[in-house]
Structure formats: structure tokens, C-alpha cells
Amino acid sequence: MTTPSIGELLDSTVPMARTLKLEYLETTPDRAVLRLPDQPEYHNHVGGPHAGAMFTLAESASGCIVLAAFGDQLSRAVPLAVNAEIAYKKLAMGEVTATAVLGRPAAEVVAELDEGGRPEFPVTVEITRADGAVTGVMTVTWTLRPNS
């Protein structure tokens, strides 16, 4: 039996990600890269991707890196987003790509969990359009909540 990919896991557990038809370009413990194809049904009033669709794209990218970095901890802790902040920098048109990176070393987060803590850690996500311009930046603070 094959292990599902991070993208398959996210699509099966988070229907919203599946609804947007997100494309999983890279999902490793070091970086997650997801793309939102240009889809008219998710456009805003100026013909680009809706802010809510871009938020979901970026939050999903952050979730993928969390799953990739801490998937081996799921038997003892559940990852939860604590808060998220997004800044829209430039007009996004066409497809957009979100690139997520961990803001703390994974080993440090696991060590805190090992000590009985409930670690929090940031994930930073850049959203870019096809020409490479950064259209948005999101920071999601995640926690690993120990199972009771």
C-alpha cells in the first residue's frame, strides 16, 4: 500500500483545498509550493483571484509544510492554526503560487513537544503571480496540540 502524498492527504481532509483545485508543486519539510490555477469562478470584481481564494491557497501551503515537517508527530499531537495575518501587496491576475517556509527549526519544535509543551511556530508564505511579483505575504502561527 502506498502512502498518500501530502497533497492527497490535504485534499482528503480539507475539502476547501480540493474545491479550489489547488496544485501541489512541492511539499517537503523545507518548503511547500502550491498553485491556484486561474479559474473565473474564483475571480474578484477586477478579474483576478479573490482574496479569500488566495488566503486559502496560502493557508493550505502553510498546512502542507506543517504536515511534511511534523507528520511523524500526528500520533501524539494535532497541528492547529492559531492565527493568520495576510497583506495584499499588488494586484494578482491569472494563476498565483504560494511558497511556504517554516519560521523555526522543526527539531526545536519537536523538542518543545517532547518536554511536554505545546509549541507554537510561524510559517511564512509568499504569494506570487506568474511574472514573479509578490502579490501577498501571509504569516500563519501554528501549534502542535498534544493529544489528551
List domains and CATH numbers for the chain: 6-146 (3.10.129.10)
| Contacts of residue 106, Cβ cutoff 8 Å, sequence gap at least 6 | 29, 69, 70
Its sign, for the CA torsion 20, 56, 103, 90, is positive
Torsion of CA 125, 48, 92, 23, to 10 degrees: 40
**Nearest-CA neighbor of 98 among 20, 22, 9?**
22
- Give residue 102's identity as a one-letter amino acid code: L
Relative orientation angle of helices 51-70 and 6-13, to the nearest 10 degrees? 120
Give 45's strand partners.
none
Would you write out the chain's pLDDT as a tens digit for each of its 148 residues?
A: 566 799 988 888 888 888 999 999 999 999 999 999 999 999 999 999 999 999 999 999 999 999 999 999 999 999 999 999 999 999 999 999 999 999 999 999 999 999 999 999 999 999 999 999 999 999 999 999 999 8
Beta-strand relationship, 77-88 and 134-146: antiparallel
Paired with 77 in beta bridges are: 146
Q: In this structure, are residues 28 and 7 in contact, taking their beta carbons and an 8 Å threshold?
A: no
